[in-house]
Amino acid sequence: MRVVVTSPFAGEAFTRVLKGVEVAVAPVLKLTPVKVEGEAVASAVSNSDLVVFVSGRAAYRLREEGIRLDLAGKIVATAEGRKGAVMVKNAFGVEPQLVADSAEELARLIESCRVATVFHHGERAEDLMKRLSSLCSRAYEFFTYRAVPDDEALRALPPGEIYVFFSALAAELVARGGGTC
């Protein structure tokens, strides 16, 4: 049996844990860190009642940049399920109150806000931003990294019995016909 994993980091763990199973690592996205202006982020978060991490990786990138956030009294949300919630808690010590499996689902869960700060994943969460623009008086947006499709990896995606996607964006790219699964 072959398991195809889209995360190089997870691929190493899968290889160690899955005995007797071939693990193929196929990183279909290239993640490029973006420099984040710490003062702008701190100012936006201090003015916000809602702070959204579309991806848990965004929380980790902020910590890598040395940015500390005071999230006390804020509604904290993630659109990456329990994985995102754990990453936000690891990075900033708070458990998100709103946890959804996608940005679209999170958009439906948010009922109100005064001002929001959104940390996007590799691309802009359009449905979420439309919802926030209808609910909030202001929504700050930040990118901590850009996710760019790796066209070569998509074309060369190996066949497998099981595919494990570590981001919705990777799954969407493959589903759009970029790969063979």
Tally of CA atoms within 13 A in the half-sphere of 170 that contains its CB: 22
The Cβ of residue 128 has, within 10 Å, a number of other Cβ atoms equal to 27
Q: Report the chain's terminal Cα–Cα distance, integer Å.
A: 14
* pLDDT above 60: residue 61: yes
What's the pLDDT score for residue 121? 81
Q: What would the two tokens of residue 142 be?
A: 């930040």
Give the integer Cα–Cα distance in Å for 1 and 160: 7
What's the pLDDT score for residue 123? 82
* pLDDT above 80: residue 133: yes
Say which residue the tokens 């790796």 belong to.
150
Tens-digit pLDDT profile for residues 2-29: 999 988 878 888 888 898 899 999 989 8
Asked if residue 134 lies in contact with residue 143, where contact means CB atoms within 8 angstroms, the answer is no
Q: How confident is the model at residue 177 (pLDDT cuts 50, 70, 90)?
A: low
Q: What is the pTM of this model?
A: 0.78
Tens-digit pLDDT profile for residues 74-119: 999 999 999 999 999 999 999 999 999 999 999 999 999 999 999 9
Give the integer Cα–Cα distance in Å for 126 and 4: 29
Q: How confident is the model at residue 170 (pLDDT cuts 50, 70, 90)?
A: confident
The Cβ of residue 85 has, within 10 Å, a number of other Cβ atoms equal to 23
Provide mean pLDDT across the span 26-33: 88
Q: How confident is the model at residue 147 (pLDDT cuts 50, 70, 90)?
A: confident
What's the pLDDT score for residue 54? 95
- Torsion sign, CA atoms 6, 9, 14, 16: positive
Asked if residue 181 lies in contact with residue 155, where contact means CB atoms within 8 angstroms, the answer is no
- Torsion sign, CA atoms 38, 39, 42, 48: negative
Provide mean pLDDT across the span 116-126: 91
Q: CA angle at residue 52 from 65 to 148, to 5 degrees?
A: 60
What's the pLDDT score for residue 53? 97
- Torsion sign, CA atoms 162, 166, 170, 176: positive
| Mean pLDDT taken over the chain | 91
Q: How confident is the model at residue 153 (pLDDT cuts 50, 70, 90)?
A: confident
**DSSP per residue, 26-37:** ---EEEEE----
